[in-house]
Amino acid sequence: MNISVLGCGRWGSCIAWYLDKIGNSVYSWGLTDAPDFRQLKAEHKNEYLSYSPSMVVSDDLEASLAHGEIIVISISSQNLRSFLQRVNKFNLDGKTFVLCMKGIEQTTGKRLSEVFEEYIDTEKTPVAVWVGPGHPQDYVRGIPNCMVIDSKNESVKKRLVDSFNSELIRFYLGNDLIGTEVGAAAKNVVGLAAGMLDGLGYTSLKGALMARGTREISRLISAMGGNGMSAYGLCHLGDYEATLFSKWSHNRMYGEMYVKGEKFEKLAEGVYTTQALLKLGDEYSVDLPIARAVSEVLKGDKNVREILSGLFMRSIKSEFE
């Protein structure tokens, strides 16, 4: 198939590399002045991987949209709305979009597919989401993993799963778009908390964090009308190893460096998602103690050790409350 991947950062370049690897004709689009794009354009490689000679690296948005029958978007989730305002000026009828980002819009609390639907008619141009665990550093070494594709459109997600499956990535059909999106976004907030525990030397508490985090997000998903069990799948709990433990997890590393008083320069989506989750918690009357604790740490106006230790030393209650 002809596929265009819009966004050429860490994940965008990995997606483009993967889709080319399994036999598609791929355009990799990026912003003209972005350092990631400039390096790929000049060298056909970045710090994670090398593109094949057949891949096209372009800053021409119109040409990239025209090329792809499938359009993958992999940019910062908080920039999706403004980006769609550019994209929807072109004829997109018959194309399929895939959102490969994990976030919730901070200002509105909307899931990314909901933001997409505000600008593009999904009857003519359906949209799916692609989430799940893994890091480019592992994929390029041939280490396999499993991911999820979900959509309101059953035929679209089945087509994408069939087309994108390989020995390197086993794709599963999602069946709960709310849970898939919220779970995938929220695991980054739990990743921040995990990094903070690492930075304080409280790594032993990660087991409790995983148990508590999954339950907390399950309650939110259920309140929003999704299936609470989705939090126990690949979109959330299944992504904990890559997010809460890996040295390559941006969110875990951000949390660790933050509590150590150091600065992490790369994108950590969980910073924005934390506030979006608290907004949803208020809207749906769901208590989110982990998200609230992370927010308090990031505000920097309370003792970090007190906040995080207090998270696990609350009033006595049963394990599954």
Active site (catalytic) residues: 187
SS3 category, 25:
strand
Distance CA 112, CA 159 (A): 21
Residue that has been written with the tokens 């994209």 in this structure:
87
C-alpha–C-alpha distance, residues 319 and 321, integer Å: 6
Q: For the chain, how long is the longest CA-to-CA vector?
A: 61
Across-strand partners of 145? 169
The set of long-range contacts for 79-87, using a CB threshold of 8 Å and a minimum separation of 24, is 80/105, 80/112, 80/115, 80/116, 81/105, 81/115, 81/118, 81/119, 83/6, 84/115, 84/116, 84/118, 84/119, 84/120, 85/119, 86/61, 87/6, 87/61, 87/119, 87/120
Report CA Rg, the chain.
Answer: 19
Cβ pair 75, 6 in contact under 8 A: yes
Residues in Cβ contact with 296 at an 8 Å cutoff, skipping those fewer than 6 apart: 302, 307
The Cα 103–Cα 88 span in angstroms is 21
Q: What is the DSSP letter of 45?
A: B
